[in-house]
Structure formats: C-alpha cells, structure tokens
Amino acid sequence: MKQVLIYLSILGMALGITAFQCASAELTGAKLYINQKQYDKAKETLLKEVQKNPNSDEGWYLLGYLYGEEGNIPKMLEAFDKSLSISKKFEQQIVESKKYYWATGFNKGVSFFNKATKTTDKDSMNMFFEKAAENFNNAILCEPDSAGAYINLVYTYLNMNRIDDTIAPLEKLVSIGTAPEAFAMLGQIYTEKGNQLIDNYKTSKNPADSIQAYENFNKAIEVLEKGQAKYPDDGEILLRLSNAYISANKLDVAMTAFKTGVEKEPNNKFYRYNYGVLLLNADKYPEAEEQFKAAIELDPDYTNAVYNLAVTYIRWGAKMREEMEEKGEVSDAYKEKFSAAIPYLEKYLSVNPQEPTIWELLGKVYANLGMKEKSEEAFNKADQYRK
C-alpha cells in the first residue's frame, strides 16, 4: 500500500497592501505590523477592527491572510468568506491565496507521507501519516473539487488502516468522476464491509447484521455500475463488480450483465475474465474454461485468467472424482483435468514465485497425480515462502 507521492511546483504568495483613504486606526496599525512581520500584534489589532466594524471587508481579508500564515486554514477560509460576503474587492487575492495554500497543503502532505513510508519506527510513521492527512485535508478545504488531494488522503488513510475514513473522500472522488480507481476502491470497501457483516451474522444470528450487509452490497453495486458505465474497459472496476454481485447473491444479474458485455465486445479480455469468474462460481466449468482461454488468447500474460483457468480444471477434476465415487465407478478420467491445471499454475508461479498458497495448491495437484517428488518440491517451496 505504501507509495511515494509527487510534489507540485508552487509559487510564493505576496500580500499586496494598498493604502485606502479613510482607513481606521486599527487597519492602518495592522498593515504596519504586517509590514514589520509582527503578526501577533497585527492579528490582535485586526480582531479589534472586525469587532468594531463587522463589515470591514479589508479587515476580514487581512485577518484571513494572517490565519493562513499561521497554518490555520479553517479560520483563514472563514475570514475570507466573511470578506467576500461584504464585497468582492479582495476576491482575486483570496482566489490566489486559496490556490497557494492548496498547493502548500498538498506538498506538505506529500512530504510527510513520503517520510512515513521511509521510516521503520511505528510511532514516527503514525505521526507522519497523521500530519500528511491533516495537510491533505487542508488542501481539500482550499480546493474542494480538485481530485489530487482526495486521492492522496485516501492512500494515507489506507496506510493507517483507517478504512472507514476513506469512504468520504472516495465518495467525493466518485462524484468528481475523474479517478477510475475511486470507483473500484469504494466498491471494494463496501463489499468487504458487507462480507464482514455476513460473517458476524453467522455467529450472532442478528437480522440487523444481515440487513446491513446487503445494504453495503447494494452500495457497492451502485458505485461499481456507475464506474462501469463511465470506464467500461477498466478491469479493476469489472472485477470488483463481479465480486459484489457474487457477495450479494445476484449471480443471475451478474451473468446476464457480463454475458452481454462479452457479446458486445468479444475482444475485451476483462469482460471475458469476469464472465469466466462468474461461470466458475456457478460450477459451469466448460463455459468458464472457454472464457478464460479466450482472455488468455487476447493477453497471454493475463495472470488472473491464467490462475483461474487452473482453478477451473482443479475444481472440474474434483467434481468428476466425487461423482464417480458416488456412483461407485473406478476411473482416472478426472486426472486429465488435474494435469491440465499444471502448466497454468506453473506459468502463474513463473511470474509470482513467492506465493506460498499457490505452491501448496500445485503440490496438492502433483500429489493427486502420484507425482511424489514434484509434490514434495512444491510443498517445500510453500514452506520457504511462508518464512
């Protein structure tokens, strides 16, 4: 989850102070203090100014400037809003200030994020991530419709394992609509929350857990269907959508949707793959085989399809063996399916060699085929990568 974020280039901000006729003593004094960089005295004087004259557009603007210098972005924006509610005299300066503090907050957030990813001390890491989140939130306050700070805030929360806190910025990103990963991530979070509630329900038998689970599944489907409509070729969105359909027990709906996708775009490997996943979960092994093979023909390096084709053969072989045992038949026909899985598992491991669960699966396949030596080698690899 850790990653290095990118800085923005920013220009310095200069405060232009103009001498206005009939300025109050407080305004005149505050400007003098600002020029002398005596900001505490300037703020004290300006607070007196806006208390005496609540309609002092310049007083509120200058007070906002000082809050910005302090890094108090919420108070800065509050003061700017009051100035603008009185007049538009300082609108251009306020717009430039917001841009400046958006970039400042963004870059400070990036700096703290990168420091967090480079430290091994847990307390320091958490402190840096907290600072990163604070600054990305400040940037968002300044430019509420700019996607970059939201994306970085999401990754910050994910690194802090604050999953629920990612929902609000992800929902905003979805509403902006320029970040396809936001649809996939938000849909996945809702699906996982639903799955957790289903696990709770199995233990608690509390109907509320089941109801809330399906509310989350439906939220996931809604978000992901919007993402699919906007980004029809995004494989991650399609994968998360098929998973959400499965979790919500909407297999028929999913089948129809992805079958239609395959018919409309037969050369879309993502539609092929996700339709194959649904068929596999429905125990329709010959049909799943067809879809995964088609996906691999379109992209021979599509490792998800390679792995799931192997799983299709393994489940298919196991099903054949169970059916023969139930009938009391003796046949090695099922071994053909196990054998068919081997080259795909081996290909997957050639790309992802450090996955112990896949080595263990390969070991079991070898064992079922009586390939003792290869089975032991695979299990040893699994043990090696678990350490």
Residue 229, in any domain of the structure: no
pLDDT tens readout for residues 125-179: 999 999 999 999 999 999 999 899 999 999 999 999 999 999 999 999 999 999 9
| CB contact set of 42 (below 8 Å; sequence gap of 6+) | 30, 31, 33, 34, 62, 66
Quick one: three-class SS letters along 69-81?
Answer: HHCCHHHHHHHHH
Q: Does residue 51 belong to any structural domain of this protein?
A: yes
- Residue 51 sits in a domain of what CATH number? 1.25.40.10
pLDDT surpassing 50 at residue 55: yes
210-227: pLDDT as tens digits: 999 999 999 999 999 999
Same domain assignment for residues 34 and 162? yes
pLDDT above 70 (res 10) = no
E-strand spans in the chain?
A: none
Q: Quick one: average pLDDT of 327-339?
A: 90
Instruction: Report yes or no on 296 lying in a domain.
Output: yes
What is the overall mean pLDDT for the chain?
91
Residue 232: pLDDT band with limits 50, 70, 90: confident
Domain hosting 109: range is: 25-167
- 279 close to 287: Cβ distance less than 8 angstroms: yes
- Per-residue pLDDT band at 21 (split at 50, 70, 90): very low
Rounded-to-10 torsion of CA 150, 154, 157, 161: 170
Report the half-sphere exposure of 343 (CA within 13 A, side-chain side). Answer: 4
In-domain check, residue 289: yes
pLDDT (average), residues 191-213: 94
Domain for residue 278, yes or no? Answer: yes
Question: 233, 232, 255: which is closest to 245 by C-alpha?
Answer: 255
Contacts of 191 (CB under 8 A, 6+ apart): 216, 217, 220, 240, 243, 244, 247
Query: 292, 315, 336 — which closes off a domain?
Result: 336
DSSP letters spanning 14-41: -------TT--HHHHHHHHHHHTT-HHH
Residues 31, 157, single domain; the answer is: yes
Q: Phi and psi at residue 72, in whole multiples of 5°?
A: -90, 80
> DSSP character for 9?
P
Question: Domains in the chain: how many in total?
Answer: 2
- pLDDT bracket for residue 8 (50, 70, 90): low
Please check the confidence at residue 19 and state whether its pLDDT lies above 50: no
Does 153 share its domain with 275? no
From 150, 167, 184, the end of a domain falls on 167
- Coil/strand/helix, residue 370: coil
User: What is the structure's pLDDT at 15?
Assistant: 54
Same domain for 34 and 159?
Answer: yes
Residue 258: the pLDDT is 87
- Residue 208 forms part of a structural domain: no
Instruction: Judge whether 254 lies within some domain.
Output: no
pLDDT, tens only, 92-126: 999 999 999 999 999 999 999 999 999 999 999 99
Residue 82, φ and ψ in degrees, nearest 5:
-65, -40
